[in-house]
Amino acid sequence: MAEAARFESHLTEQRFRLLVNAVTDYALYMLDADGHVATWNPGARRFKGYEADEIIGRHFSNFFTEEDRAAGLPERVLGTAVREGKFEAEGWRVRKDGTRFWAHVVVDPIRDDHGTLVGFAKITRDISEKKAADDALRQSERRFRMLVQGVRDYAIYMLDPEGHVTNWNSGAEEIKGYKADEIVGKHFSQFYTEEDRANGEPVRALATALREGKYEKEAWRLRKDGSRFMASVVIDPIFDDDGQHIGFAKVTRDVTERHRAQLELEETRAALQQSQKLQALGELTGGIAHDFNNLMTVIRGSADLLRRGTLSDEKRVRYLDAITETADRAAMLTSHLLAFGRRQALKPEVIDLNVRLDAFGEVLSRTLGGSIQVQLDLAPSLWPVEVDSTQLETALLNAAFNARDAMPNGGAIILATCNRADQDGDWVSITLHDTGEGMSEEVLGRVFEPFFTTKPVGKGTGLGLSQIHGFAAQSGGRAEIESTLGEGTTIRLLLPRSGKTGTPAEATPQALQTERQLNVLLVEDNDHVREFATALVEDLGHKVVPADGGEAALALLDREPIDLLFTDVVMPGMSGVELARRARERRRGMPVLLASGYSDEILAGAGAEFHFVHKPYDAQQLGLALMAAYDEVPTLN
């Protein structure tokens, strides 16, 4: 009986040695209690380049980078393993030749039957190349068994050629719930779900490992209590010295938490798509709010002027025309919002693209922000087209938002038109070119797919470039795209020429001139608002010195006898708040009146030291605000 027991023990030890030596994806070796290498295997030699006689007896800190050694990481590794029962981390490690590799490391303390620390079991995997080195260990059978049994984060065990479990480690017991005497001798297929067994997955796994040299997969497995867990499984065939197949080495790890996190991420993606749609609408409305209030300022100011009984017929007609023209522009802005929100019934109409795109360019510039320059290159004598104008603008908005996201540090968008005749007919071409990051050929081939996005998770609007393709096709044309990494992207819409007449261009109101009193430096980048604000101020009896931006205003301030600065807040380049502060640096105590309908700066409290009037304003409100600013009396807005 004693001889049989010794034989069985020897056989078991041999199996454990074969098991450890056969694991090719993990390096398994032992340290003594002080951290000196006690065993070494071919896998470790493959990972790190040391022969056994070069490293056994040396401290394992040789594998750490100089920075980690200086920071005391090797000592912390062993201390954490002793204190917490395990150390697990990823980090840089160093081979014998000095090259680095990124390693996933698990260190478990090994204790004898009396609880005395006798060393450490160490598992290392080279995840920089996703290929583990050969883990064939050549150490003593007893120490190899202690090493394997000391690992509790991986189920490491062996199967015979038919798939029956031949040994079992503490990690396997921890993960799957079986004790060794409950599972050894039974077929490993009982770890599989009923569906996988019915589909022949256990047999297929062993056949794949034998045929290809390795089987690797993540799938659901069963514990003893019937509960499921997501397992990362590696199966390697084992051969003896004569090349005879004698079984399989199997390594399993519970990755349920990681799998659950991935599922939660997928669920979050769907919610983010809807959230980003609302966010995109918010960006558009915020950008348009300022322009819409500019239009309302013109309408209200003109209406206020029309109340005066002393107006000439010529001025009365001029103000009525201005109200009509501005109302049309306001309706156009409203249509942008409705089209973007897909809340408007749309119909095709004959349009003059150049007129539409000229107005659209102003809206786009506001919407995209100051870091993106919008440039127009509109060809003269452009043929008319018959399209749904709001769908066209929605398509261009989609393209522009994609272009903006491809230029996180700013850049330029060029909106161009031209006539194009080919064998397929006469076309009007609209191109939108950006100076952004560009796309790879793989991405370029999918950009028109529904719901495909070129942006990272959480950053796409969900509108998709597919709308551009669909719009062009429904209009009887087509969409084209060209892109090169690092050189930007060009989207081209080809629309069929229409034989009908396009919409005529809108008339531009002329400036008004009246009495003067104060010399007011009026700064407004919008031509229409600047004209009508000038008319209001002049009707109040003041002289106006107009400027279309901050730099121009500062130049005028240096050479004109200015009594008061009246400036818009939101302007390209220098904002009104910055202009006001720089003006007071040049002329201490300069009266300042700010105006805006929408401004992040004003909402954040910037410019609180200056007087402020809300857009839209009428002549009475503006007159009171101007005098309050000039007299340094607080305004009531």
Q: What CATH number did the domain enclosing 582 receive?
A: 3.40.50.2300
Whether residue 199 is predicted with pLDDT greater than 60 in this model: the reply is yes
Q: What pLDDT does residue 539 have? A: 87
Is a pLDDT exceeding 70 seen at residue 333? no
Whether residue 459 sits in one domain with residue 334: yes
Please tell me the predicted confidence (pLDDT) of residue 582. Answer: 93
Instruction: Give domain status of residue 266, yes or no.
Output: no
Q: Are residues 363 and 414 in the same domain?
A: yes
Neighbouring residues of 72: CB distance < 8 A, sequence distance ≥ 6: none
What distance in Å separates the CA atoms of residue 48 and residue 57, rounded to the nearest whole number?
16
Residue 592 shares a structural domain with residue 470? no
Same domain, residue pair 171 and 139: no
Instruction: Look at residue 399 and tell me whether its pLDDT is greater than 50.
Output: yes
Given 102, 133, 153, which residue is the final one in a domain? 153
- Amino acid identity, position 64: F
Task: Examine the fold and report which residue of 153, 184, 201 is the final residue of a domain before the chain moves on.
Answer: 153
Which CATH number goes with the domain that contains 349?
Answer: 3.30.565.10
Determine, yes or no, domain membership for 514: no
Q: Is residue 502 one of the residues assigned to a domain?
A: no
- Residue range of the domain that includes 243: 161-254
What's this model's pTM, rounded to 2 decimal places?
Answer: 0.31
- Bridge pairing between strands 100-111 and 87-94: antiparallel
CB 60, CB 78: distance < 8 Å: no
In a domain, 566, yes or no: yes
| Residue 435 near residue 403 (C-beta atoms within 8 A) | no
Together in a domain, 469 and 523: no
Of the candidates 578, 562, 566, the one whose C-alpha atom is nearest the C-alpha of residue 533 is: 566
357 and 431 Cβ atoms separated by less than 8 Å: no
- 129 and 146 in a single domain? The answer is yes
Last residue of a domain, one of 97, 122, 153: 153
Whole-number pLDDT of residue 84: 92
The stretch 316-320 carries a mean pLDDT of 80
* Domain membership flag for residue 323: yes
Residues 166 and 132 in one domain: no
Residue 506 maps to a domain: no
Instruction: Indicate left, alpha or beta for 52 from its phi (over 0: left) and psi (-120 to 50: alpha).
Output: alpha
DSSP secondary structure string for all residues of 157-212: EEE-TTSBB----HHHHHHH---HHHHTTSBGGGGB-HHHHHTTHHHHHHHHHHHH
Residues 90 and 223 in one domain: no
Q: What is the mean pLDDT of the chain?
A: 79
pLDDT above 60 (res 504) = no
- Does some domain include residue 511? no
Count: domains in the chain: 4
Which pLDDT tens digit goes with each residue over 98-122?
A: 899 898 899 999 998 888 998 998 8
Together in a domain, 580 and 484: no
* Domain assignment of residue 259, yes or no: no
Which of the four pLDDT bands, split at 50, 70 and 90, describes residue 8? low
> pLDDT tens-digit profile of 152-166?
678 888 899 999 998
Q: What are phi and psi of 49, to 5 degrees?
A: 90, -5
The pLDDT assigned to 20 comes to 57
* Residue 451 and residue 557 share a domain: no
Phi, psi of 199 (to 5 degrees): -85, 0
pLDDT at 508 over 60: no
> How confident is residue 2, by pLDDT bands cut at 50, 70 and 90?
low
Determine the 3-state secondary structure of 524 from DSSP.
coil
What is the pLDDT, as a whole number, of residue 477?
A: 87
Q: What is the CATH number of the domain that holds 61?
A: 3.30.450.20
Could you tell me if 171 and 149 lie in one domain?
no
- pLDDT band of residue 567 (cuts 50, 70, 90) is very high
> Both 149 and 249 in a single domain?
no
